């Protein structure tokens, strides 16, 4: 990995930490708060790509695991990762990878629609696929009610999708960080 790649990873890990400074908003019927950090997952994948975006999220997860207060509300520690929110946090790594992978695959024809699709699939779909079952198991709640209650996150996450998509398309035009994959014949 080149020095530039490490710098991108560090910058997006730092962006995640900064997004963690926004206080979490408690949801009365779920043990999982609304946070700004899911925006960082989308930004990382759609701006620096699959590998670097996932690595940036992994750095944040590892910092949280060793107890650094990098998560929303100044939380950190292995207890947070093993608690009800842990699945969402672990899902950040895979979510950023999927957002980046979709972005890289459509790079030659990338536009706002592709950016929205990539962020919805990876930034919402994948993260929820990790988070909802984890929350159900750790909390001892049935899966379907947890999934239904998680719908409260959708509106905010769709706003984050829009922000990340506009940012990604703008960065691509001004300073493309992702290198285009070779096209197949």
Is residue 178's pLDDT more than 70?
A: yes
Query: Looking at the predicted structure, is the pLDDT value of residue 14 above 80?
Result: yes
Q: How confident is the model at residue 177 (pLDDT cuts 50, 70, 90)?
A: confident
Domain ranges of the chain: 3-174
Instruction: Give the confidence band of 9 by pLDDT, cuts at 50, 70, 90.
Output: very high
Predicted local confidence at residue 165, as pLDDT: 97
Domain 3-174 has CATH 1.10.3720.10: no
Mapped to the 3 state alphabet, what secondary structure does the chain carry?
A: CCHHHHHHHHHHHHHHHHHCCCCCECCCCCCCCECCHHHHHHHHHHHHCHHHHHHHHHHHHHHHHCCCCCECCCECCHHHHHCCCHHHHHHHHHHHHHHHHHHHHCHHHCCHHHHHHHHHHHHHHHHHHHHHHHHHHHHCCCHHHHHHHHHHHHHHHHHHHHHHHHHHHHHHHHCCCCCCCCCCC
| pLDDT value of position 94 | 98
Residue 160 has pLDDT above 70, yes or no: yes
pTM for the model stands at 0.93
């Amino acid at each position: 990995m080149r020095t530039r790649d490490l710098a991108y990873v560090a910058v997006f890990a730092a962006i995640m930490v900064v997004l963690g400074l926004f206080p979490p908003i408690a949801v009365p019927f779920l043990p999982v708060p609304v946070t700004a950090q899911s925006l960082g997952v989308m930004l990382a994948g759609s701006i620096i790509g699959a590998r670097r975006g996932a690595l940036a999220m992994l750095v944040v997860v590892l910092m949280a695991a060793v107890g650094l207060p990098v998560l929303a509300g100044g939380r950190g520690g292995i207890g947070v990762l093993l608690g009800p929110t842990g699945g969402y946090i672990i899902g950040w790594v895979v979510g950023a990878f999927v957002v980046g992978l979709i972005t890289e695959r459509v790079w030659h024809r990338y536009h706002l629609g592709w950016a929205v699709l990539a962020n919805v699939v990876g930034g919402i779909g994948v993260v929820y696929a990790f988070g909802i079952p984890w929350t159900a198991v750790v909390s001892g709640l049935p899966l379907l009610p947890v999934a239904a209650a998680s719908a409260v996150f959708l509106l905010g996450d769709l706003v984050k999708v829009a922000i990340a998509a506009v940012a990604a398309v703008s960065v691509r035009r001004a300073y493309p960080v992702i290198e285009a994959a070779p096209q197949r014949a």
